[in-house]
Structure formats: structure tokens, C-alpha cells
Chain A
Amino acid sequence: MSGAEIGLALSVFLACAVEAVEALTIVLAVGTTRSWSSALYGVGAAAVALAAIVVALGPALSSLPIDVLRVLVGGVLLIFGLQWLRKAILRAAGVKATHDELQTYAEETEAARSAGGLGGGFDGYSFTISFKGVLLEGLEVAFIVLTFGSNQHHIDVAAAAAGLAVLVVAAAGVAARAPLARVPENAMKFAVGVMLSSFGMFWGAEGAGAHWPAGDGALLAIIALMALAALSMTSAVRSRA
């Protein structure tokens, strides 16, 4: 496995794990409060929809000429990654509130209790809330799997890393039987933002015709530079807050 492929797998794993933790909180809330079977049907339906998106769009993206693919996907990945990184920096600096899984769980549980209409059979509320939660959190992962995977021509590696992250988070959720509030979500989002921005910059510039000194080796320097810049910005914002 090359360095770029390890970076691909690690980025997708971290991004998927973060989103899976957030989706798990929603599924736990409706499953515990109302109906586990209906909530799990919702999870399954959303997983099928996400897989269909990846299967439908993956080959289309991979068939583009490599320079067009790199400048388009690299540019979009860079813009998308800078969004993640900006929010992670603002959260780490204390300017923006961090995601609180326990609070989200309490809110979702209260909403599920007050929704009413719980009968003995299939529960539409549990299905819908689980489906929406998993689909919305999973869309970002599907996007990362598609962009990273198509550029590396390894959508299979990206999809496997995403699947592994879901299994790890689901196993942790079953073991804990509670929201995974102690997962360092913002640190993981920070790392993902650095990786997405770095890969996006590397591929975008290559697609535009630039040649990086040291070829693929430049990627490591770019990741280090982006991490250093983001940490410096966090420190600067925190000291002024």
C-alpha cells in the first residue's frame, strides 16, 4: 500500500467515524425511546441509498480524463476540506460551540417521547428519524469516498475504510449502550480537514498542470504545512478570544 493510499484510507476512516458517532446518537435516541427494529430498518435503508450513490457516481467520475478529474475533484475537495478545517479551528479555539453528543441525545430522546403515536408494530417516526440522520451524516462520507477514491482509482479502498469505521463505531455503541460522548470529535474533524485540504491542493495543482517537487513526496510536506498553519491559527484565535 502506497503512502497516498494509506492517507486515503485514514482520511476516509476518520471522516466516517466522526459522522457515524453523530448518526449513532440519533439512532440510539429513537431506538431506546421508541422502536429498535424500526430504527434499524431506517439505518439499513439509508445505508442502501448511500451505497447506491457511490455505485452510481463512482464509475462516472473514474472515467473522466485524469487531469480533468484532478483539477475538478481536487478543487471541490479543497473547498470542502477548508470548510471542515475552518469549523474545527473555530471550535478548537473556543469561538464556536463543540458538538455535544449527550445534549443531542437528550434533545432527540425528548423529541421522540413527545412525538406520540407509538403502537405495537412498525414505527414510522423511528424509521424516518434514523433514515434521515444516517443519510444526512453519510452524504459527507459518500462525497469523500467518491472524491478520494476516484482520484486514487481506489473507490474500493475508500469504501472499505468507511465500512470499517461504521463497524468500529457501531461495536463501541453496542458495548457502551450510550452516546459516544468521549470520542474527540473535533480533533478528528481537524485531522480530516487537514487531509482533505492537503489532498485537494495536491491534486488540484497537478490537474492544473503544475509539477510538485519530489512528486508524490510533496504530499507529506503539504500535510505538515497545512497542519502547522491550522494549529497556528487556532492558537492565534484562542489567544485573542
Chain B
Amino acid sequence: MPFIHDPEFGDRMITLMAALVLVLQILAVGQRWLMGNIRIFGLQSFLLAAIAGTIAFFNHANHVYIVALLTLILKAVVLPLILARLVERVGIQKEIEPLINVPLSVLISGCLTMVGYVVAESFYHPEETSGVAALGRNTLAIAIALFLIGFFMLLNRRKALTQVLALLSMENGIFLAGISLTYGVPLVIELGIFFDVFVAVMVLAILVYRIGETFDSMDVSKLRRLRG
């Protein structure tokens, strides 16, 4: 299969997968079920791992393989499992109640994607990128869009667990930006970031559990006793 070694092919694959990641993010905005949301996050992380693997393959960057593998294990399998178990343990309403209704949310996500393109345009210099499979500006724009939509989701949701998912999808956006700009940061740092994200999810899971226990609800809009 000679076409596999063609950088052009790699380019297209990456762009295609990045586009799918964006589609999944917008699906997550419209998703009403918590479990569905967790699955979308897992799928998105799987695609990111695939993108990282593709980049590693075409640029012969061995350390990116490790990053891809870690993403696959940690973000596509372990974190979704932890979150799914948490949903069962807490066992309260699984439906997400966004503040802004779904059609409008999707529309806002579309606008944020455009913002991503405008921002990416302003500082991306493809002619200077040295890699074989130079990543299109699409990937960077999508990464920024992921970050912004994740932020919007965070503001738009009331349930503690769904906010955690939104935060994680923001992190996915940053990850995509990192690998599309510089093929990721040095491995030691990447490992540190993975470790921090993992610990953060554990800490958040404990907090979510205790909030659910103490307040009999995961609705963080009920957390408003501290003011002024």
C-alpha cells in the first residue's frame, strides 16, 4: 500500500479526524444524556490519539507515539470508565439541563468555531513548519474552537459532572493545539501534564461524590451560600 507513506494522505487523514473531533464536540453540546456525553468524550479522545499516532508516523517522531498511547489508555478508556462508575455511584438524575436550549447552543458553537478560524489565521505560519506532514491551519482552528466550545459548555451547564466533562474537553482542545503546533511539548512535560489531568479528575470525582452526598443533588447552581 504505497499511498500510506504519502504525506499528502497523512495530511488529509489528520484533517478528516480533526473535523470529526469538532463534530463530536458540537454533538456533546447538543447531547442530553450524561452517559452519552461520557461516550462522546471517550470517542473524541480516541480520535485525538489517532491524530497523534498519525503525526508520529509521518514525522518519525517516536516520543509522540508514547503520547498517543497514553492518550488512548488514559483519556479514551480509563477516564470514561471512572466517570461512568461515578454516575452509577451517585445515581441521581442523569439528564443534563443546559441553561441555554440546544438549538441556540449549537448555533453559538458554530460562531465559536468561526472565532477559532479567525484567531488561528492571525498567527499561524504554515510555510515555516518543518514537518513532513505539515498540519493544515484547519487543525489549529479546530483546536481553538474545541477550547472555546468547551468553555461555553462549562458555563452552560449546571450539573457538577457535566462541568467536569466540559473542562476535560477544553483540555482536549489544548492537547490538539499542542500536537498540531509543535508535535507536543517534550515528553517529560507531557507526562507531567497527563499525571496532573489524571489526579485532577480523581479529585473532581471525589468532590462530585461528596457534593452529591451532602446536597442530594449535583446541581451546582444550588451552591450559592457564599456571597459578598
- A-B interaction: no
